[in-house]
Structure 1
Amino acid sequence: MNKLANELGTEKISKLLLKQAVPATIGILVMSLNMIVDTIFVGQWIGVLAIAAITVVLPIAFLISSIGMGIGIGGSSIISRALGANNTEKAFLTFGNQICLTVILAILFVVLGNVFSIPILDLFGAKGEILPIASEYFSVIIYGVPFLAFAMMGNPTIRAEGKPKFAMYAMMVPAVLNVVLDILFIKYFNWGMWGAGLATSLSYASCGLYILYFFLSSKSELKIIPKNFKLNFDIVKEIAQLGSISIVRQGAVSILMIVLNYSLFTYGDEISIAVFGIINRVMMFAFSPILGVSQGFLPVAGFNIGAEKNERVKETIKKSIYFGSIIGTIIFIAVATFKEQIIWIFTNDATLLNKTPNAMLIVFLVTPVVAMQLIGSAYFQAAGKAMPALFLTLLKQGIFLIPLAYILPKYYGVLGVWWSFPIADLLSTIITVIVLKREIDKNLQ
């Protein structure tokens, strides 16, 4: 067992969480700039409808790439527990199966995405004047998705072997490249949405290639061994059980986007979709520290669950929720205080500047407590308990938010869409706390 992984079972929990969560947070923050930078640049240099087009396309790309994320998170849970149990053979076999599954499935879905591009775009809300702009962007970005899928598979795997800084670097590379290429392609070459898509695709490729370089180098404890590419039924089954949580989560997000774009277009117009596009980008960036805590939580909890160190597991849960709740409170205060200034970053369109700030404040209302929900579902993933993890993961987007976003606008118009977010957050957090407390009382005493 390598020294870095061994520290997961002996080092002080608060120090471990900082060591794991800070690089994960920085990586997620920087990676989210890929989407934010696209939105800012197209909003300032192309127009409002371009923001709406990106809002439609990116959930499709992330649905496909979520296959890699699911394989990565499912496999990393197995790897963390295998390292905790000192079973390096299983860790290596799992890693080889992860690579094989990701490559096969990502390419398959990209082919399907190309063949059925127009129906897919229409389904996700590319209505009216949005469709031609969205189609131009999608036709380029789809080719970067396999690289993104590989990157999403590799990132949690790198953290599972106790090397969060390298996972952070992998997410920083594409964000920096995307900024440079967006300026070059959109502003100077005047390539419009095609240029924005090309910049994003190349940034995804850089991320995937960096992760491949890491695993091929001496820095990685997990080696790429061709014989481990042969799929093992038991390993694939376990990866699928745990990884399906992330895939289903992203699937729920994609269905949510269909419902949201339908409600926003039906009870509002293209501008309403652009309003949500801005709010969604702010959410991605603002929630990064809380997501970083949950990502840092996974390898620490997983290792100690595998090592049967229950007191350390309980301490990891408590401190992760504590840190995440403090961060969530700070985020809400910052959004409430600077909401108008935040919108100015994305656009100078008077309609968006008028409609977006109050909507964004409503969406962020329950941010101080969302860490409880994220850590609760992350615990069951780390423990290898697929069904409760899947249930808790689906609570917000699938069980509460999708129905609310469809029903409330029938009575309250676009305002109903915005209020569906805090209501779903609050309900899902309450249920998660109840389920997690029962689990702790039953299995971690």
Structure 2
Amino acid sequence: MKQKIQSEKLGTEPIPKLLKNLSIPAMIGMFVMALYNVVDTIFISYGVGIEAVAGVTVAFPIMMIMMAVSAAMGIGGASVISRRLGAKREKEANQVFGNIISVILMISVVGFIAAFTVLEPMLRLFGANQEVLGYATEYMFPILLGTFFFSFAFATNNIVRSEGNAKFAMMTMIIPAVINIILDPIFIFGLNMGVQGAAIATVISQASVSVVILRYFLTGKSSLQLNVADLKIKVSIIKEVIAVGLPAFAQQAAGSVMMIAINTMLIRFGGEMHVGVFGIIQRIIMFTVMPMMGVMQGMQPIVGYNYGAKNFDRLRETVILGLKVTIFFSFLIFGLVMAVPHWLMMIFTSDVAVIEAGVEYLRIMFAAVFLIGVQVIGSGLYQALGKPKQALILSLSRQLIFLIPLVLILPHFFGVYGVWMAFPISDFFACILAGTLLYRDRAIFFGKGKNKDQDRTQNQDQDHPITATPNGL
């Protein structure tokens, strides 16, 4: 009974209360995760130097590739699982979960082998020059050895949230963050291990939370059950999960390509110092957008469950409320960055030149941040609805379609400033695209024409309970 109540509350509790209860834990968890990234960068900056921050920044695209695959399995699986639970198909939800775990195990083997074979060539390909290559290698080698812990924790966090257990999902983000913050100064300063110490601390923190998550699933606290029989790969399940998770993969992978392009252009038109500044600004971006991402993550299981249960009034109310809250946060972030950018930079460094450059670049990059709320909700909404084509378009739009071409073109006309100018311009075009798609598909959210769309989904699920492909365009 307890397990059923855990997921069924997604279809019964008032939407404002439900969104608050799911979003706030997600915000807190992501806030703490962002905090430990911030603390990581602070310790590296003060303990080693801005060149070490540049090395970690160059290495970060590899981590983003790891997260991209994990996101595809976790977010795609969460969407499929939440709709299975909404349709009262618990056994099939367990099969999806077991297949996701099997894929994570395979991913982990690839990461482990890559640490000993292709790490340095990858870093050179991603823009590392001789000055930062050593720092980048020292940081990424332990991270790749611990691929399983990162992939497992990242993917299962989304799955836990898909069954409505936002508080435990929050704890799975807080636990590694706290452990990492405690271990960072010990390894970096106490043991004098530099950037490699920061990486080892991160791996240990992810390993610790992986044990906690595994215990959660094995002791019956979840609505899902981890059965050995469900670990057997079924191509039909993996295809459906990948179809829904592809936008999340594309978004993370595009982020990796974006980082490579930015680092390359910053080194070409600026220098290592500019890459280090971007590394700091990237942490500020992570920290400031967490509230909007928390709302989106809190919204997704509500949307997925009620879409599967055909509760369209609740779906519509969730979408409208999510848009209102994220737009409010986006304006709040804009005001903060425009008012006190120097305070934000001074958290990370005492270097006057770095602070002055960071203040100028921050204001340029965040000039249109108040527009990103619409895109965040739109992308998360289509993922939760199992509409991979729309979600893929929105996931790719800002980074791959708009930002990367602008980053590669504008510096030739505006020098290093062109890299920073690319951000607000891409935010503007991405908002226009997201708004257009949401307006076009408004019938789904406002109940007009819903029967036709849902009848098609229902027929697919009845004919092919596992192999049904989520609706696209």
TM range (shorter): over 0.9
- 1:82 corresponds, among 81, 84, 91, to 84
Q: In the alignment, what sits opposite 1:155?
A: 157
CA distance in 1, matches of 2:108, 2:143: 14
* Partner SS state of residue 347, structure 2: helix
Maintained 8 Å contact 1:64/1:110: no
Q: Report the count of equivalent residues.
A: 445
> 418, 422, 434: which is aligned to 1:416?
418
Alignment match, 1:382? 384
CA deviation string 1:200-221 (max 9, x = no partner): 1111212322221211223212
Matches within 5 A, 1:168-179: 168-179=170-181
- Matches of 1:400 and 1:290, distance apart in 2: 21
d(CA) in 1 for partners of 2:78, 2:371: 27
Which residue of the partner structure matches residue 273 of structure 2?
Answer: 271
The Cα shift of 1:110 comes to 3.4
- Cα displacement (A) at 1:191: 1.4
Shift of 1:116: 0.6
- On the 8 A contact 2:82/2:301 being kept in 1, the answer is yes
Q: CA deviation at 1:26?
A: 0.8
Aligned to 1:145: 147
Matches within 5 A, 1:137-286: 137-286=139-288
Within 5 Å, give how 1:2-401 maps onto structure 2: 2-401=4-403
Is the contact between residue 261 and residue 273 of structure 1 (CA under 8 Å) also seen in structure 2? yes
Cα distance in 2, alignment partners of residues 53 and 34 from structure 1:
18
Give secondary structure in 2 for the equivalent of 1:11: coil
Shift of residue 349 of structure 1?
Answer: 1.3
d(CA) in 2 for partners of 1:128 and 1:358?
28
Residue identity in the other structure for 1:425: D
Instruction: Write the deviation string for residues 158-206 of structure 1: whole angstroms up to 9, x where unpaired.
Output: 0111100000000001111111111111122211122111111111212
| Partner Cα distance (1:114, 1:32) in 2 | 29
**Alignment-derived partner of residue 461 in structure 2:** none
Matched residues in 2 for 1:219 and 1:105: separation?
A: 26
Does structure 1 retain, via aligned residues, the 8 Å contact 2:64–2:253?
no
Query: Retained in 1: the 8 A contact 2:70–2:154?
Result: yes
Q: Could you tell me the percent identity over the aligned residues?
A: 38
Deviation at 1:100, TM superposition (A): 0.7
Q: Secondary structure at the match of 2:11?
A: coil
Whole-Å separation in 1 of the counterparts to 2:341 and 2:126: 28
Distance 2:133 2:311 in 1: 54
Distance 1:114 1:66, change over 3 A: farther
Are the counterparts in 1 of residues 138 and 195 from structure 2 also a CA contact under 8 Å? yes
The farther-off stretch of 201-210 and 429-438 is 201-210
Mapped partners of 1:398, 1:5: distance in 2: 36
Which ranges in structure 2 are unaligned for 5 or more consecutive residues? 449-473
Which residue of structure 1 aligns with residue 466 of structure 2?
A: none
Cα offset, 1:415, TM superposition: 0.8
Letter of the 1:226 counterpart:
V
Q: Kindly indicate whether the alpha-carbon contact (under 8 Å) linking 1:344 and 1:353 is maintained by their aligned counterparts in 2.
A: yes
> SS of 1:391's equivalent?
helix
Task: Give 3-state SS (helix, strand or coil) of 2:97's partner.
Answer: helix
Letter in 1 for 2:304: G
Shift of 1:152: 1.0
Counterpart-to-counterpart distance in 2, 1:395 and 1:9: 32
Does the aligned pair in 2 maintain the 1:409–1:415 contact within 8 Å?
yes
Q: CA RMSD in A?
A: 1.3
Deviation of 1:442 (Å): 5.6
TM-score, normalised relative to structure 1: 0.97
Spell out, residue by residue over 1:330-365, the C-alpha distance to the aligned partner (whole angstroms, 9 max, x if none).
Answer: 112112222111111111112201100110111112
CA deviations over 1:226-284 (Å, ceiling 9, x no partner): 00001122211100111122111111011111100011000000001011001000001
8 Å CA contact retained: 2:115, 2:145: no
Return structure 1 stretches of 4+ with deviation > 6 angstroms.
Answer: none
Q: TM-score, normalised by structure 2?
A: 0.92
- Deviation digits for residues 12-46 of structure 1 (CA, Å, limit 9, x no counterpart): 11111111111111111111223211110010111
Which amino acid in structure 1 is aligned with residue 427 of structure 2? D
Residues 137-146 or 292-301, more deviating: 137-146
- Secondary structure of the 2:367 match is coil
Maintained 8 Å contact 1:61/1:145: no
For residues 130 and 146 of structure 1, the distance between their equivalents in structure 2, rounded to whole angstroms, comes to 26
On the 8 A contact 1:328/1:369 being kept in 2, the answer is yes
After superposition, give the CA deviation of every residue in 1:123-167 in whole Å (9 maximum; x if it has no partner).
222113111111111122222222011011100100111100000
1:66 CA drift (Å) = 2.4
CA distance in 2, matches of 1:361, 1:213: 45
Secondary structure class of the residue paired with 2:297: helix
The AA in structure 1 aligned to 2:207 is A
Aligned residue for 1:287, secondary structure, equals: helix
**What's the CA shift for 1:113?**
4.3
For residues 145 and 265 of structure 1, the distance between their equivalents in structure 2, rounded to whole angstroms, comes to 29
